[in-house]
């Protein structure tokens, strides 16, 4: 399979196989309007299989959520056919409206318009603390089931 390089845009490489569609959804990329290449289950010397996403002519997306989805992924910003910036992903310090608080007494449970705000408590264990009630959630492993919109 041959997918051309892009002149301007974003390349997200080394995604865990199967996460490419989730990444497009999380970034809010419109597959009907934006020019996007999604390669799934490609061979990878390092990981065996991987997904790869190329988004042409778009660099104004919030990449912070990628650290939650797949921290091993690499992000390259392309301008004039050259890599101008490589981004090393990390867990975001704060996530808003990504995970829903499970505490039934939390204000976010009773007030539907209250934003779900979690702050990174421990990066080594991927623990986030609800900004309102201090409930702790570990965003590692099967946490994807708790995502609000991904």
* pLDDT of residue 148 exceeding 60: no
pLDDT at residue number 69: 84
Question: Are 78 and 114 found together in one domain?
Answer: no
Question: Are 84 and 13 found together in one domain?
Answer: yes
- What digits encode the pLDDT tens for the residues 87-117? 988 888 998 888 889 999 999 988 989 999 9
pLDDT at residue number 40: 93
* pLDDT of residue 21 exceeding 70: yes
Could you tell me the pLDDT band of residue 150, with boundaries at 50, 70 and 90?
Answer: very low
Question: Are 83 and 102 found together in one domain?
Answer: no
Domains held by the chain: number: 2
* pLDDT of residue 120 exceeding 90: yes
Cα 102-108-110 angle, rounded to 5 deg: 95
**Residue 10 near residue 77, CB atoms below 8 Å:** yes
4 domain-assigned? no
Query: What CATH number did the domain enclosing 81 receive?
Result: 3.30.70.140
Question: Are 14 and 42 found together in one domain?
Answer: yes
**Residue 118 near residue 98, CB atoms below 8 Å:** yes
Q: Which residues contact 119 (CB under 8 A, 6 or more apart)?
A: 93, 94, 128, 129, 131
| Alpha carbon distance 138, 124 (integer Å) | 10
pLDDT at residue number 107: 95
pLDDT at residue number 67: 83
- What's the predicted TM-score (pTM) here? 0.74
- What digits encode the pLDDT tens for the residues 32-82? 677 889 999 998 888 899 999 999 987 777 777 788 888 888 999 999 999
């Amino acid at each position: 399979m041959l997918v051309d390089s892009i002149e301007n845009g974003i390349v997200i490489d080394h995604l865990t196989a199967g996460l490419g569609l989730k990444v497009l959804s999380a970034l809010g990329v419109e597959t009907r309007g934006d020019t996007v290449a999604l390669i799934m289950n490609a061979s990878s010397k390092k990981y065996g299989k991987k997904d790869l996403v190329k988004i042409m002519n778009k660099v104004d997306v919030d990449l912070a959520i990628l650290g939650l989805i797949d921290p091993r992924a690499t992000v390259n910003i392309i301008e004039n056919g050259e890599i101008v910036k490589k981004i090393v992903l990390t867990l975001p310090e704060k996530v808003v409206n990504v995970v829903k608080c499970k505490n039934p007494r939390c204000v976010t449970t009773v007030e539907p318009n209250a934003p779900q705000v979690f702050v990174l408590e421990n990066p080594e264990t991927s623990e986030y603390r609800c900004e309102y009630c201090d409930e702790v959630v570990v965003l590692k492993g099967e946490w994807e089931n708790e995502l609000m919109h991904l």
